[in-house]
Structure 1
Amino acid sequence: MDYSYCPVCENPIPIHEIERHVNHHFEDAEVAKDMELAQQIALAPPSPPQIDRSFCLDIDPESVFEEVPESSTSRDQRSVSSSKDEPKDIDEKICYIISLQSRETFYKVEVGIMTLLKKCLEHENSTSLLSGYVDHFQSVKSEDMGWGCGWRNIQMISSHLLMERPETRSVLFGGSGYVPEIGSLQKWLEVAWQRGFDIVGSNYFKGKIYGSKKWIGTTECAAILCSFGLRAKIVDFGGKGGKGVGRAHGPMDKFVVRREVDKKEAPAKFGDGSANNSKGYQALIDWVWTYFAKHESNESRHRVVVTNKMPLYFQHHGHSRTIIGIQVKHQKNGLKQYNLLVLDPAHSTEALESSLKENFGWQKFLKRGLHTLKKPQYQLCYVDPGIAQAEELEHLKNFTGVLTEC
Structure 2
Amino acid sequence: MLLCELCGQALRTEPEMRRHLLRAHLEREPRCPLCSFSAPGYDELRAHVDSAHPEPGPGPAPAGSPPQCPFCGETGASGRQVEAHVRSRHGHLLDPPAPGNSQQLYECPMCDLVCANGQILQEHVDLHLEEHRFSEVDINVGGSLSDLELAQQIQNEEDRQQGLEEARREREEFQKLQRQYGLDSSGGYKQQSLKNMEREVARGRMQPSEYHKRKADMMESLAFGVDDGKTKTSGVIEALCRYYQNEIKDVRRVWLSTGVDHFHSSLGDRGWGCGYRNFQMLLSSLLRNGMYNDCLRDITLIPCIPKIQSMIEDAWKEGFDPQGASHFSNRLHGTKAWIGACEIYSLLTSLRLKCQIIDFHKPTGPLGTHPRLFEWVLSYYSSNRESGTKVVCTPKPPIYMQHQGHSRTIVGIEERKNRTLCLLIFDPGCPSQEMQKLLKQSNDDTSLKLLRKFVGSLKDKQYQIVAVDGELSPEEKVVRCQASQVFTAARIP
TM-score, L = length of structure 1: 0.62
Segments of structure 1 that go 5 or more residues without pairing to the other structure are 1-69, 79-96, 240-268
Q: What is the CA–CA distance in structure 1 between the aligned matches of 2:241 and 2:191, rounded to whole Å?
A: 32
Bigger RCO (CA 8 Å, 6+ sep): 1
Q: Report deviation, 1:200.
A: 1.2
Q: Are 2:238 and 1:238 equivalent residues in the alignment?
A: no
Q: Report deviation, 1:228.
A: 1.1
Q: Report deviation, 1:213.
A: 1.0
Identity %: 33
Instruction: Specify the SS of the correspondent of 2:412.
Output: strand
Instruction: Specify the SS of the correspondent of 2:375.
Output: helix
Q: Report deviation, 1:101.
A: 1.9
Q: Are 2:280 and 1:148 equivalent residues in the alignment?
A: no
Q: Across the two proteins, how many residue pairs are aligned to each other?
A: 275
Residues 367-403 of structure 1: CA distance to partner in whole angstroms, max 9, x if unpaired? 000011110000010112123212x111222343111
Quickly say closer, same or farther: Cα 1:128–1:167, change in 2 above 3 A.
Answer: closer
Instruction: Specify the SS of the correspondent of 2:288.
Output: helix
Q: Are 2:154 and 1:74 equivalent residues in the alignment?
A: no
Give the corresponding residue for 1:395: 479
Q: Are 2:374 and 1:291 equivalent residues in the alignment?
A: no
Contact 2:276 2:305 in 1 (8 A): yes
Q: Report deviation, 1:345.
A: 0.2
Report the structure, 1 or 2, having the larger helix content.
2
Q: What is the CA–CA distance in structure 1 between the aligned matches of 2:447 and 2:480, rounded to whole Å?
A: 38
The one-letter amino acid of 2:453's match is R
Q: What is the CA–CA distance in structure 1 between the aligned matches of 2:453 and 2:191, rounded to whole Å?
A: 31
Give the number of the structure whose alpha-carbon radius of gyration is greater: 2
Segments of structure 2 that go 5 or more residues without pairing to the other structure are 1-184, 194-220
Q: 1:106 aligns with which of 230, 234, 237?
A: 230
Instruction: Specify the SS of the correspondent of 2:355.
Output: strand
Give the corresponding residue for 1:404: 492
Q: What is the CA–CA distance in structure 1 between the aligned matches of 2:319 and 2:192, rounded to whole Å?
A: 24
TM-score, L = length of structure 2: 0.52
The one-letter amino acid of 1:377's match is Q
The one-letter amino acid of 1:379's match is Q
Contact 2:263 2:278 in 1 (8 A): yes
Q: What is the CA–CA distance in structure 2 between the aligned matches of 1:275 and 1:109, rounded to whole Å?
A: 36
Q: Report deviation, 1:328.
A: 0.9
Give the corresponding residue for 1:121: 244
Give the corresponding residue for 1:354: 437
Instruction: Specify the SS of the correspondent of 1:364.
Output: helix
Q: What is the CA–CA distance in structure 1 between the aligned matches of 2:359 and 2:312, rounded to whole Å?
A: 22
Give the corresponding residue for 2:459: 374
Within-5 A mapping of 1:63-212: 72-75=187-190, 100-109=224-233, 112-123=235-246, 124-125=248-249, 126=251, 127-140=253-266, 142-164=267-289, 166-172=290-296, 175-212=298-335
Contact 1:76 1:182 in 2 (8 A): no
Instruction: Specify the SS of the correspondent of 2:263.
Output: coil
Query: How large is the Cα RMSD of the aligned pairs?
Result: 2.8
Residues 145-186 of structure 1: CA distance to partner in whole angstroms, max 9, x if unpaired? 11000000000000000111x2434443x6131111000000
Quickly say closer, same or farther: Cα 1:184–1:132, change in 2 above 3 A.
Answer: same
The one-letter amino acid of 1:154's match is F
Residues 72-131 of structure 1: CA distance to partner in whole angstroms, max 9, x if unpaired? 2434999xxxxxxxxxxxxxxxxxx99842244234445x11011112223323210010
Q: Are 2:403 and 1:320 equivalent residues in the alignment?
A: no
Contact 2:353 2:472 in 1 (8 A): yes
Quickly say closer, same or farther: Cα 1:371–1:73, change in 2 above 3 A.
Answer: closer
Contact 1:76 1:184 in 2 (8 A): no
Give the corresponding residue for 1:242: none
